[in-house]
Amino acid sequence: MPRPQHLDLPNVHPGHTAHFTDYRAAEIGHVTLSPDGPVEAGSYASFTLVFTAGRFGMDDTGSVRICTRQVSDTGKPQFTDPRAPNYVTAEASNGARLTLEFHPKLAMRPWSRTLTVTVARGFLSPGDTITVRLGDQREGSPGLRMQTYCEERFHFLTLADVFATCNWALLPNQPWVPVVPGPPVRKLAILPTCRAPGESFSLLLRADDRWGNPAPLGAGIHQLGSSQAIAGLPDSFVWREGARSHRIDGLSTTASQAVVVLWNDTPSNPMRVADWALTPYWADLHGQSGETVGTGHIDSLARYARDLAGVDAICHQGNDFQITPEGWADFNRAFAEFDQPGRFVFLPGYEWSGNTALGGDRNVIFPEEGRTIRRSCHALVENLDDHGTDALDARALHAALRAEGKPVLCVPHVGGRYANLHFAHDRMLERAVETHSDWGTFDWLLHDAFDVGARVGIVANSDGHKGRQGASHPGGSQFGSYGGLTCLLATELTRAGIFDALRRRHHYATSNAARVHADVGVTLAHPAARHIDDPALGGPPDDHTTQAMMGDILAGVQDDTALFTAEIMAASPIERVELRNRHELVEVFRPQAPLGLRLRVVWEGSEYRGRGRETEWRGEIALRGNGWSEVTPINKFNLDHRFEADGNTLRFEGVTTGGFQAMDAVLESLDGSLLIETNLVQASVRLRDLLAGEAVWEAGGLGRRMRAFLLPDNGATVMRIATPVPLQQGQDNALYLRAVFEDGSVLWTSPVYLLR
């Protein structure tokens, strides 16, 4: 019997669905869902799904499986408390006894989350039904908590094993509902972070719902203003009915320093105005669509990144072992269709997803489409016609890519698997490592790179799986962080310009999709040899200079010290800026303002490097002999987690995956003490002792700890640094900044490498 061709499911074609049988699928049965109208992301809903048995009925111990995608954060079904969320029931029309069970990783990816309804006693005849109530509200349950992100077609993938052979048939009709954004709660005005005087630029305006989904505003007139004169900026604009963003092109300014656009009471990020040789373009070079383990079609992913997130460039990074030949051809179509020089760059690529023991995750990035995909395996690709192009470990991948003799880059990162640089590192191909994504924050991967002698830049991306590339809220699932962005300092917004910026390591990275202006320079007294490629590869220098920017490699440095300069400009006040030389913390810079009555308590770190890296925090933070007000969470993205404060006590829970969460509060005075009672840290400190510096309590794991410190009442959003740095003998000097901002975002600049 031919395979169904009309299923509206990503990657349903020969070679990818061997885990679902299609034997007489049209005669196995059919399924209906009600209601089938739109449902708000993150809301509670109730659905009735009815399976009707076909010509074979269903035998004793046969079952129906209802699967949702692995990355979905839809509520976990439960079967015992009819008043609690996510209550699910099932009944057979003929009275057969049914049992229900749920497993988060039972069916084959990407449809891993599996609710199984089994005929435990009895059988079904043709025409008999099983009625499953997902979020059964009849006894008081609020319903099934829907996933927190939007999807044009959220499927309840339904399979049936009517022969009781544990071979589930994919039913030819599949129920789905649209998941749509909720009401907007947060406005964003996004500018470029630097443009030359008189250079044209654009302003993007959008509003997000409580779960970070761009949401339509009510149609009407909105007011705009600016801190400096901007040619072409209207005083007001009309938001169109149903629009999820508004873009204003053709703006320019001759301001001398920086400009901020005001959207009613919402300020944009600052845009530095300076005449520089390179232009900053913002990119998210790591995301997946529903053709692999992500959400939605690759075309929808590109439109989101371009039109809603407002990034300048993206790269799609689907898991190689899940990309069929047909899928790779369609990806290449999308790469070509959406790439528009000067407006939006779509770099081709894929994720080489080898096991950690064999090198771990690498993003492969090409400057053009039509290249060969070299899979780490064919685990989910049944068609083996092209298995001869596989690269089964990272060393084989590097060798195969080099043998092609064409431009290509690899970016080691941490995802489900983490990149094992101690197994393999290629100096020519691997010019950056990813320190942040939805999965968490991973400074340790940069340290691994230093340890193996790598000379790499730093990128941050989303590795988003929820269809929100470029503005990737983690939602309510295992992802613990808001995705990052990479700012590429390029000559032009083209594939060639972006790829060259990556090749030269001319870029910096931020978490939380923060748009921050950053500039770093190093000045020497004597000229040194500048290399684009790592000089360890044996090539000649590209030129000689006394000036270097982020990502540059200078060899033959004669000086004992270097003058390090930097400028940072952000929308959020700066908490601290760390100047680092490889592993060494050289100096910490803070805003030059007296400490006030603002208290910050931080919890951070992870369990270990692997998949189970999430650290769960729960407990109380309290004052004794004092009180506070304006208690606010920092980096609390999962709204399901508790955060309840009264006049002197916070009761909270949270998850960190290498990054940090925090609370801020305004103290009544500096009298009394701070008390911490959590599952991992029990501590106390006198508040006045924090005037001398932060208190730190280690909690094992990987960088897992709590910290408490005071902030100035009015923090600075601009910092300029000029400081001499002693250079080390006998090892690379890798000078870079790691800055933390009060809103919870982090900045990393790619190192300047000075080789003595």
Spatial distance between the Cα atoms of 471 and 211, rounded to a whole number of angstroms: 11
Residue with tokens 């600052």: 270
Q: How many CB atoms lie within 10 A of CB 215?
A: 22
Spatial distance between the Cα atoms of 413 and 419, rounded to a whole number of angstroms: 5
Closest CA to 303 of 316, 322, 319: 316
**CB burial class (10 A; 0-12, 13-18, 19+) of residue 165?**
exposed
Spatial distance between the Cα atoms of 320 and 327, rounded to a whole number of angstroms: 10
Q: Give the CA angle between residues 669, 670, 673 to the nearest 5°.
A: 115
Q: Which two tokens stand for residue 755?
A: 């080789």
pLDDT bucket at 10, cuts 50 / 70 / 90: low
In contact, 630 and 575? CB cutoff 8 Å:
no
Give tens-digit pLDDT for 120-131. 999 999 999 999
In contact, 479 and 473? CB cutoff 8 Å:
no
Residue with tokens 């692997």: 610
Q: Which two tokens stand for residue 286?
A: 């790591």
How does strand 733-741 pair with strand 752-755?
antiparallel
Mean of all residue pLDDT scores within the chain: 95
Closest CA to 411 of 486, 336, 465, 473: 486
Quote the pLDDT of residue 12. Answer: 59
Determine the 3-state secondary structure of 248 from DSSP. Answer: strand
Spatial distance between the Cα atoms of 295 and 467, rounded to a whole number of angstroms: 5
Is residue 249 over pLDDT 90?
yes
Determine the 3-state secondary structure of 459 from DSSP. Answer: strand
E-strand spans in 512-594?
517-531, 543-549, 553-555, 561-569, 574-581, 584-589
Give tens-digit pLDDT for 343-395. 999 999 999 999 999 999 999 999 999 999 999 999 989 889 999 999 999 99
Q: Which two tokens stand for residue 406?
A: 């064409």
Closest CA to 159 of 258, 78, 58: 58
Spatial distance between the Cα atoms of 446 and 463, rounded to a whole number of angstroms: 17
Give tens-digit pLDDT for 565-600. 999 999 999 999 999 999 999 999 999 889 999 999
Spatial distance between the Cα atoms of 361 and 319, rounded to a whole number of angstroms: 9
DSSP assignments along 181-222, one per residue? -----EEEEE--SEE-TT--EEEEEEEE-TTS-B-PPPSEEE
Partners of 155 in the beta sheet? 176
Quote the pLDDT of residue 39. Answer: 98
Quote the pLDDT of residue 2. Answer: 36
Residue with tokens 């208290």: 599
Domains of the chain: 25-180 (2.60.40.1510), 186-273 (2.60.40.350), 279-515 (3.20.20.140), 516-593+715-756 (2.60.40.10), 594-713 (2.60.40)
E-strand spans in 69-149?
88-92, 97-103, 113-121, 129-134, 144-145
CA distances from residue 366 to 330, 362, 502 in whole angstroms, order as listed? 16, 13, 11
Give tens-digit pLDDT for 182-229. 999 999 999 999 999 999 999 999 999 999 999 999 899 999 999 999
In contact, 526 and 546? CB cutoff 8 Å:
yes
Q: Which two tokens stand for residue 113?
A: 């989350």
Closest CA to 324 of 710, 19, 12: 12
Give tens-digit pLDDT for 644-684. 999 999 999 999 999 999 999 999 999 999 999 999 999 99
Spatial distance between the Cα atoms of 520 and 751, rounded to a whole number of angstroms: 9
Quote the pLDDT of residue 233. Answer: 97
Is residue 625 over pLDDT 70?
yes
In contact, 121 and 95? CB cutoff 8 Å:
no
Does the CA dihedral 325-327-329-332 come out positive or negative? negative
Quote the pLDDT of residue 6. Answer: 44
Is residue 697 over pLDDT 90?
yes
Give tens-digit pLDDT for 440-488. 999 999 999 999 999 999 999 999 999 999 999 999 877 779 999 999 9
Chain centroid to CA 668: 38
In contact, 417 and 464? CB cutoff 8 Å:
no
**CB burial class (10 A; 0-12, 13-18, 19+) of residue 693?**
exposed
Collect all residues with Cβ–Cβ distance below 8 Å to 162 and sequence separation of at least 6.
28, 29, 53, 54, 56, 57, 58, 59, 62, 124, 169
Chain centroid to CA 478: 12
pLDDT bucket at 19, cuts 50 / 70 / 90: low
In contact, 275 and 255? CB cutoff 8 Å:
no
Give tens-digit pLDDT for 41-91. 999 999 999 999 999 999 999 999 999 999 999 999 999 999 999 999 999
Radius of gyration of the chain (CA): 27
Quote the pLDDT of residue 11. Answer: 59
Q: How many CB atoms lie within 10 A of CB 249?
A: 11
**Beta-carbon-side half-sphere exposure of residue 615 (alpha carbons within 13 Å):** 28
Spatial distance between the Cα atoms of 644 and 666, rounded to a whole number of angstroms: 16
Residues 535-551: what's their mean pLDDT?
A: 97
Closest CA to 22 of 11, 12, 10: 12
**CB burial class (10 A; 0-12, 13-18, 19+) of residue 98?**
buried
Spatial distance between the Cα atoms of 442 and 195, rounded to a whole number of angstroms: 31
Amino acid at 514: A
In contact, 644 and 691? CB cutoff 8 Å:
no
